[in-house]
Structure 1
Amino acid sequence: IRRRAGIASPPSGTPTAETPSPAEPQGQPAPQAGLVGVAPGVLQAAPAAEAAPEQKEESEDKKKKDKKKKEKKDPGERLKAAYIGAVSRVLAQVFAVLLSVGLALYIATQRSGPTPAPTPPTTNDSDGKTDGTPRFSAVQPQAFAGKNYEASGVVSVPDTEGVLFVDDSKPDQVFWMQLDQSGNQVGEIKPIPLNLSISNPEAITYDGSFYYVVGSQSEPDKADQNALLRFAFDPVRHELIGQAEAIKDLRGLLLKNVPDLGAEGARPGIEGGINIEGISWDPANGRLLIGLRSPLVGGQAVIVPVRPRNPREFTAENLTFSEPRSILLQLGGQGVRDIQYDAQLRAFLILSGALDTQRKTDFKLWEWTGGAAKPTEELTLNEDIKPEGITRVRMSGRSYVFVVGDASYYLRLDDKQ
């Protein structure tokens, strides 16, 4: 205090003389002891002047301590902060790229116009319907469970939940297959012995009393095994009723009685000659319709009507080929792979496919009302399943079309409303 007031300090160890204070007038404050010649204002300002530098020093010390704390920050926290910053920068760059690509695609779309929708299959039936709407929608194909089957024809068994199908590699059997309401296989497929052999069984149908199985007739040297069979079936016990019957050498009967087949029909099926792959009962005319994969006549598929004179007899002599000529159908240059009457549609469903002598192409589904009507193309079917059999199935109020394939697959087709 002395130094700041400009008063010299006494030498160390020298006592300071005390001068008696003169008498002060009443009402005047006495000066503080030990301070001589110091103005009262100086004594009041001195503490404030001393406090200001101390506060400044404390503030600077606090800043230095905070800085040291930041420098001593946990390295893990610094790494985390750096990682978050890096990720944020990457995300910003990705967002910028996506925004640029999206903008470019939008500009390109506006220039080129919207992408056209796929064209649905067209129809062209005998009633002049050309609305482009197919009648059926296909469900994903399923493989036969248990074994592989070269299924080549199928027919629904009335008042049951199943079908009978033929396998072109099993000449002496037909097969019972139970279905659920979704058209899926239930349980194991059961072979039904025919106790007769037929070369290359290709199709099966039902006339209300008997089931008929026809072979391809494509191999001239098979003679008697080029047959047409019929049998009665017990739908409860899943076995034949009585014995199957056969008309042998159907091939020879066709060549003799159907002029449209001509010399070309006499060739082996693999060379474009007779090759039967479809058969259907025609309830309106009381006859069988035999569908040929080959030969074609004028680029058209051949349907041969065969009528029994006496429904009870099943012999070659009882068959009549009474039509003046075969029925020729325009199936896009393809032959018949199966034909079956659909009572719900009151029309025939026809599967078509390429001839053995042609490049293999897609299989088609057609609807034909009979007679001179032109078939309507309904669907293109997956060629991988090799569809060769078709029938209408009804059970428990549910109805759908069922297709079997030579590649050991089956398929359900639903009617569109």
Structure 2
Amino acid sequence: MAILSRLCAAASMAGLSLSASGAEPFSYKGMCEASAAAAIDAKHFVVASDESNTLLVYERENPQPVASLPLAGFLGADKSDLEGAAALGQRIYWISSHSLNKSGERKPGRYRFFAIDAQNLPLKTVGKPYVRLLDDLLKTALAQKYRLDAAAARKPEEKDGLNIEGLAAAPERGLLIGFRNPLVHGRALIVPLLNPEALVADPAHAQASFGEAIELELNGLGIRSIDRIEDGYLIVAGPTGDNGDFALYRWSGNAAEQPRKLVDPGLAGLNPEALVPIPGKKNKYVLLSDDGGRCKKSDMSFRSLTIKLP
């Protein structure tokens, strides 16, 4: 059974340029390491940091957070390296890196998959976190094919290490998991997760079910964010390690088709790791930068750039 239905390929192939809205990035206060985000409504979005287990809610172009959701008790950890978010209706799913830390140590708190209810503020958690996602994946033939067991034993930004940074909605209420690392024959790896709802509803008795993996040509870059858009997906691609350039790609969602690179709207100096659609504004999105490398405790902030697709 095909995991991804054919979306509007003609639209994804047309017009490869995009524009930035506004000359300067906009700064939001309260965190530095914006690593995952999702829209709540036309005005609000929620952001995770890879250095904290507290979600912050912002009103678009209001620099101060308007709400928060502490998750340390719910997740059983102070820091889980949260890296990806995807909305399915009013539910937002979140995924951590499922990687070793930079010292090569396995920290149990970094292996989390969970959901929140974003129908109204304040936000609420849903069910319980699922902690065996990587264990389930490593039992599959897919993991054997791509040697993910060896990757999981390496540091996340080491060559052929394992590092999850993308999560996106897929058909039939599934999700797509996007890997920053490893690359497969130089291509970025996507693994469909078929039963996210069951995992958070009854984690004690559930087991993750995966679809056929997809390899995407991103010119040697990994997936730093992947998001469902009107006619397919928008991918933020970046280096598997610490240094390198970022790029934006548009993908139809068809596993048989490769993404098309978009003209850079001015990403230099940014470290884009999250993307938020602007509800009601067709083809308009906000890129969020993980600014941990330039963070000051006296002025914790991250930058955003609004872009418009053709």
Cα distance in 2 between the residues matched to 1:309 and 1:362: 32
Q: Is 1:210–2:96 an aligned residue pair?
A: no
SS at match of 2:250: strand
Given the two structures, how large is their TM-score scaled by the length of structure 2?
A: 0.79
Q: CA 1:392–1:221 in structure 2 vs 1: closer, same or farther (change >3 Å)?
A: same
Q: CA 1:176–1:303 in structure 2 vs 1: closer, same or farther (change >3 Å)?
A: same
Sequence identity, in percent? Answer: 22
Q: CA 1:326–1:317 in structure 2 vs 1: closer, same or farther (change >3 Å)?
A: farther
Task: Give the aligned partner of residue 156 of structure 1.
Answer: 39
The structural deviation recorded for 1:206 is: 1.0
Cα distance in 1 between the residues matched to 2:268 and 2:202: 36
User: Looking at both structures, which has the greater relative contact order when contacts are Cα pairs under 8 Å and sequence separation is at least 6?
Assistant: 2
Q: Is 1:200–2:81 an aligned residue pair?
A: yes
Cα distance in 2 between the residues matched to 1:374 and 1:326: 14
Q: How does 1:384-403 map to 2 (within 5 A)?
A: 384-395=269-280, 400-403=284-287
Task: Give the aligned partner of residue 183 of structure 2.
Answer: 296
The structural deviation recorded for 1:361 is: 2.2
Question: Retained in 2: the 8 A contact 1:223–1:249?
Answer: no
Question: Retained in 2: the 8 A contact 1:400–1:413?
Answer: yes
**Largest Rg, 1 or 2:** 1
Question: Retained in 2: the 8 A contact 1:351–1:387?
Answer: yes
What is the CA deviation profile of residues 279-337 of structure 1, one whole-angstrom value per residue up to 9, with x for unaligned ones? 0111x2321100000001111100011111865834275344342x4110000110000
Structure 1 residue corresponding to 2:129, chosen from 246, 250, 261: 246
Q: CA 1:178–1:128 in structure 2 vs 1: closer, same or farther (change >3 Å)?
A: closer
Task: Give the aligned partner of residue 114 of structure 2.
Answer: 229
Cα distance in 2 between the residues matched to 1:309 and 1:208: 13
User: Which stretches in structure 1 are left out of the alignment for 5+ residues?
Assistant: 1-124
Cα distance in 2 between the residues matched to 1:326 and 1:313: 25
SS at match of 1:253: helix
SS at match of 2:201: coil
Task: Give the aligned partner of residue 74 of structure 1.
Answer: none
Question: Retained in 1: the 8 A contact 2:127–2:201?
Answer: no
Q: CA 1:245–1:144 in structure 2 vs 1: closer, same or farther (change >3 Å)?
A: farther
User: Which stretches in structure 2 are left out of the alignment for 5+ residues?
Assistant: 1-7, 292-301
Given the two structures, how large is their TM-score scaled by the length of structure 1?
A: 0.60
Structure 1 residue corresponding to 2:158, chosen from 268, 271, 293: 271
Q: CA 1:185–1:142 in structure 2 vs 1: closer, same or farther (change >3 Å)?
A: farther
Cα distance in 1 between the residues matched to 2:36 and 2:210: 26
> Of Structure 1 and Structure 2, which has the larger fraction of its residues in strand?
2
> Of Structure 1 and Structure 2, which has the larger fraction of its residues in helix?
1
SS at match of 1:288: strand
